[in-house]
């Protein structure tokens, strides 16, 4: 079903499409053509696969998390995207789009970043491929993610602090789009998630779907069958669509997207776009979003900067509406408990984004019972989150 979507105009049912300035429509058409040509060219796909293998370290491991499983009460399998070069699934998309940029003959790349993971992945891909790289980052985020700013600069990227609007991820996207309108002749915009205007949701899906393709094969090898459920966190939705795509035709495999519940719905401080948002248009596509009665975007909240976005990719909206995937929230507190639990049972410190998926899997395990096997996308590692964790758990330096 959904793997044949979107249609030629980028629609997933009533979602997706192109709500963009006319100035960008012809460039988006050119990009769509370049991407389709590239995916049909064995030279391009061969180079992409070589880089995944030799540079990123794919396929990432599928890990049988036996000690976590004992606690969860069902068998938990972790797809170890945290072991990729640069520490998250994001590098797959960055490498894919950077290769496409080279193929289109464009010398310059721009990107947005929230926590800095996509910015670091893009800066890395640009360093490797010799592309000029400019990363837009909200001023609030440059302050709270200073280490990633330094990483990007070390890799040769220019980091521009965005001082307008809420000075966070959504404003970084706005500013990147403003740059792109003026620079599209020589510049490709490497959007960091499976959202935005066509062809981005489908193109990013192509570059990250290896997560699920690998995990499906690895599950068959390990279990002799498919898992009962696949679970991933959803901000914009790239790690989740990367995991889900291979399993969409396998209707016995339940798909769960875990949204950032922040402080909980009742507080209004969350980023659970599908669970609590309404249909609207943001950043070039129709999907669910957090908005007020006038259609103004509401600022989202999540302890996980990578999930802290008021929109979501249109294919997730479609999967939710058709019922193929289920979306549910996990609060900051539940995610942090899972963060600590995985660290202490398995010696794996996950990204807080991924900790949401682990927390979701603990609930799903109770629902599906002890015979169930549950595949979880461990989309990133938690080194970047240690300041947050130290504050949350009181892990400060002095003896107590």
* Active site residues per annotation: 90, 112, 379
Angle at 162 between CA 156 and CA 164, to 5 degrees: 170
Q: Closer CB to other proteins, residue 9 or residue 105?
A: 9
Sheet of 373-378: strand order equals 62-64, 75-80, 373-378, 229-233, 254-262, 325-331
Torsions phi, psi of 68, nearest 5?
Answer: -65, -40
Q: For binding to other proteins (CB under 8 A), which residues are involved?
A: 9, 17-27, 164-165, 170-171, 174, 177-178, 181-185, 278, 280-284, 291, 293-297
User: Cα–Cα distances in Å, from 35 out to 19, 119, 181, 281, 302?
Assistant: 20, 21, 20, 24, 33
User: Residue 284 Cβ, how far from other proteins at the closest point, in Å?
Assistant: 8
Torsions phi, psi of 311, nearest 5?
Answer: -115, -175
Q: Closer CB to other proteins, residue 4 or residue 182?
A: 182
Sheet of 158-162: strand order equals 158-162, 132-138, 108-113, 187-189
Please enumerate in sequence order all residues whose Cβ is within 8 A of that of 228, keeping only pairs 6 or more positions apart, or say none: 252, 253, 254, 368, 372, 373, 374
User: Residue 197 Cβ, how far from other proteins at the closest point, in Å?
Assistant: 10
User: Residue 178 Cβ, how far from other proteins at the closest point, in Å?
Assistant: 5
Torsions phi, psi of 241, nearest 5?
Answer: -70, -30
Which residue bears the tokens 């959904």? 2
User: Residue 173 Cβ, how far from other proteins at the closest point, in Å?
Assistant: 8
3-state SS, one letter per residue, for 249-299: CCCCCEEEEEEEEECEHHHCECCCHHHHCEEEEECCEEEEECECCCCCECC
User: Residue 290 Cβ, how far from other proteins at the closest point, in Å?
Assistant: 11
Q: Closer CB to other proteins, residue 10 or residue 380?
A: 10
Q: Closer CB to other proteins, residue 196 or residue 329?
A: 196
Q: Closer CB to other proteins, residue 297 or residue 304?
A: 297
């Amino acid at each position: 079903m959904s793997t044949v979507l979107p249609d030629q105009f980028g629609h997933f049912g009533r979602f997706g499409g192109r709500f963009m300035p006319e100035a960008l429509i012809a460039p988006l058409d050119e990009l769509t053509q370049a991407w389709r040509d590239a995916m049909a060219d064995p030279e391009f796909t061969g180079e992409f696969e070589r880089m995944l293998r030799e540079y990123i370290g794919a396929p990432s491991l599928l890990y049988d998390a036996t000690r976590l499983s004992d606690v969860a009460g069902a068998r938990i399998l972790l797809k170890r995207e945290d072991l990729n070069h640069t520490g998250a699934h994001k590098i797959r998309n960055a490498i894919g789009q950077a290769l496409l940029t080279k193929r289109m003959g464009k010398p310059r790349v721009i990107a947005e970043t929230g926590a800095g993971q996509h910015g670091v992945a893009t800066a890395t891909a640009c360093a490797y491929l010799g592309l000029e790289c400019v990363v837009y980052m909200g001023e609030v985020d440059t302050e709270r993610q200073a280490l990633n700013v330094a990483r990007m600069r070390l890799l040769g990227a220019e980091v521009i602090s965005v001082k307008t609007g809420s000075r966070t991820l959504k404003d970084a996207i706005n500013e990147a789009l403003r740059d792109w309108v003026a620079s599209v002749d020589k510049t490709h915009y490497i959007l960091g998630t499976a959202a935005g205007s066509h062809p981005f949701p489908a193109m990013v899906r192509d570059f990250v779907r290896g997560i699920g393709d690998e995990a499906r094969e690895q599950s068959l090898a390990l279990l002799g069958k498919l898992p009962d459920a696949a679970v991933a966190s959803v901000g914009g939705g790239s790690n989740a669509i990367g995991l889900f795509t291979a399993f969409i035709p396998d209707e016995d495999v339940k798909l769960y997207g875990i949204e950032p519940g922040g402080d909980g719905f009742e507080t209004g401080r969350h980023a659970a776009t599908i669970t609590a948002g309404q249909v609207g248009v943001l950043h070039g596509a129709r999907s669910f979003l957090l908005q007020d009665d006038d259609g103004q975007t509401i600022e989202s909240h999540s302890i996980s900067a990578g999930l802290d976005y008021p929109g979501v990719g249109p294919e997730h909206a479609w999967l939710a509406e058709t019922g193929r995937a289920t979306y549910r929230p996990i609060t900051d507190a539940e995610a942090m408990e899972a963060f600590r639990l995985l660290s202490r049972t398995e010696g794996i410190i996950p990204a807080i984004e991924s900790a949401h998926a682990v927390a979701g899997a603990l609930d799903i395990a109770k629902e599906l019972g002890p015979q169930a096997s549950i595949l979880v996308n461990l989309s990133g590692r938690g080194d970047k989150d240690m300041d947050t964790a130290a504050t949350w758990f009181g892990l400060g330096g002095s003896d107590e």
